[in-house]
Structure 1
Amino acid sequence: MGGVLGKGESPRKGWIPETKLEAKMVEAMQRRAAEGSSMKSFNQLILKFPKIDESLRNCKTIFEQFDEDSNGAIDPEELKHCFHKLEIKFAEEEIIDLFEACDINANMGMKFNEFIVLLCLVYLLKEDPTALHAKSKMGLPDLEATFETLVGAFVFLDKNKDGYVSKSEMVHAINETTSGERSSGRIAMKRFEEMDWDKNGTVTFKEFLFAFTRWIGIDDIEEEEMGDENV
């Protein structure tokens, strides 16, 4: 893992993805970056927060459907059943890799926000007829547009189109949005720190997604439900 990088440094010189899944995410994002993004500012994403929030919360019905023992988390076997029912064709090794990547607490139980991140990664990685079929089986027509918005937002941030977002790229994106405001640098650094979970100076699409679920308050759902159970 790389250290925190100074301004102007290139974090990907000789950069080696930590896992096969990360390598696939980076390759998929590089392909998408080559197509460009319709997003012109970070504010565009912020303005979409309410609509994205509503769309992602509607995934709760899918989550509950595949949480077969209703314990508030999806385990590896339940995830395999989920993929089978949605007819998403992944090798068992790929399913396990996805589960481990999104089970951030490493407790063998995927919470709702982790499940959302997984669905978005599936969207990014499986842009083929099989995935399109799976999307229609989920019965959430807005979900594809929501995931596409999130992919587009990451592409907008990834100025050099290498599949990662660096600190300097985040500063650049925020400066474009808040030109002339002295606080823009602090805002950019705060946003970047919220995304860079492993503190290695670069942000993957997965890290961006986890930060996004916090920004719109998806994590709050989990905390509220845990509180209700303890009453």
Structure 2
Amino acid sequence: MGGAVTKSESLQKEWVPETKLEAKIIEAVQRRASRGTTMKSFNSIVLKFPKIDEGLRNCKAIFQEFDEDSNGSIDHSELKNCFRKLEISFEEEEIKDLFEACDINEDKGITFTEFIVLLCLVYLLKDDSSTLQKKWRMGMPKLEPTFETLVDTFVFLDNNKDGHVSREEMVRAIDESGERSSGRIAMKRFEEMDWDKNGMVNFKEFLFAFTQWVGIDENEEDDDNNEKNG
């Protein structure tokens, strides 16, 4: 006899990807999940925060290189140049979809934080391409381990491997850490991730929240731009 279906479980069953890109991201996450995760606990993730922060900051030089007009954001044309120089072979429609998905402010420009998320999505989506992985290592060798850690973390949190993290999965992951007030911490972390408040966190939402957790701050971008333009 089956038990009652919870609200979050019902939402997960009814949810369908809104875009082709979302569907591809879920497929890529599930493909990666089939290989398992090296993460053992939420505490093991927290211990990696400083290393992840350091790795993500390595994106800064890449971002500044392709922010050709030094205005603090990368427009669609600059992103296409970025992909071409990094030898990332995406179709025009795919580049457009990625740009729109990561341009959270809808201001026609990709900020530094949005650029980090975009590159990690590229890493995930091309995870099955050995050719691109070789090119990636040549162009951005310091970023690959960081992005792999982010993907690995999401796979750890996504206990049922459906491509999303539910509130229950987040609570369970942090409960197992044995921390006091773990339930409250888990709920706070989940709310920070669940931007659209639909009770499920996709990989993109997770990435944006994670950059904040490890200390990547949009205000730092503004400070850098002021220094360059001052």
Please give the alpha-carbon distance, in whole angstroms, between the structure 2 residues aligned to 1:178 and 1:7.
26
Q: Secondary structure at the match of 2:161?
A: coil
In 1, are the aligned partners of 2:58 and 2:142 still within 8 Å (CA)? Answer: no
AA partner of residue 151 (structure 1): V
Please give the alpha-carbon distance, in whole angstroms, between the structure 1 residues aligned to 2:8 and 2:112.
37
Equivalence for 1:123:
123
Equivalence for 1:199:
197
Please give the alpha-carbon distance, in whole angstroms, between the structure 2 residues aligned to 1:8 and 1:92.
36
Query: Mean alpha-carbon deviation: is it higher for 122-131 or for 106-115?
Result: 122-131
Structure 1: segments with no counterpart, 5+ residues = none
Report the identity percentage: 67
Q: 1:218 to 1:194 in 2, by over 3 A?
A: same
Cα deviation for residue 69 of structure 1 reads: 1.0
Equivalence for 1:134:
135
Please give the alpha-carbon distance, in whole angstroms, between the structure 2 residues aligned to 1:225 and 1:200.
35
Please give the alpha-carbon distance, in whole angstroms, between the structure 2 residues aligned to 1:134 and 1:82.
14
Cα deviation for residue 217 of structure 1 reads: 1.8
Cα deviation for residue 135 of structure 1 reads: 1.5
Q: 1:15 to 1:74 in 2, by over 3 A?
A: same
AA partner of residue 187 (structure 1): I
Please give the alpha-carbon distance, in whole angstroms, between the structure 2 residues aligned to 1:176 and 1:17.
31
CA deviations on 1:118-142 (whole Å, 9 max, x unpaired) are 000000001213421331342x423
Q: Secondary structure at the match of 1:9?
A: helix
> Residues 183-198 of structure 1 correspond to what in structure 2 (within 5 A)?
183-198=181-196
Q: 213, 216, 219: which one pairs with 1:215?
A: 213
CA deviations on 1:124-177 (whole Å, 9 max, x unpaired) are 001213421331342x42311111111110000001000000000000101011
AA partner of residue 135 (structure 1): W
Q: 1:134 to 1:70 in 2, by over 3 A?
A: farther
Equivalence for 1:21:
21
Q: Secondary structure at the match of 2:12?
A: coil
Q: Secondary structure at the match of 2:185?
A: helix
Structure 2: segments with no counterpart, 5+ residues = none
In 2, are the aligned partners of 1:167 and 1:201 still within 8 Å (CA)? Answer: yes
> Residues 1-231 of structure 1 correspond to what in structure 2 (within 5 A)?
9-127=9-127, 128-138=129-139, 140-178=140-178, 181=180, 183-219=181-217, 220-225=219-224
User: What is the number of equivalent residue pairs in this alignment?
Assistant: 224
In 1, are the aligned partners of 2:175 and 2:183 still within 8 Å (CA)? Answer: yes
Q: 1:90 to 1:73 in 2, by over 3 A?
A: same
Q: 1:178 to 1:223 in 2, by over 3 A?
A: farther
Q: Secondary structure at the match of 2:9?
A: coil
AA partner of residue 108 (structure 2): M
Please give the alpha-carbon distance, in whole angstroms, between the structure 1 residues aligned to 2:7 and 2:185.
16
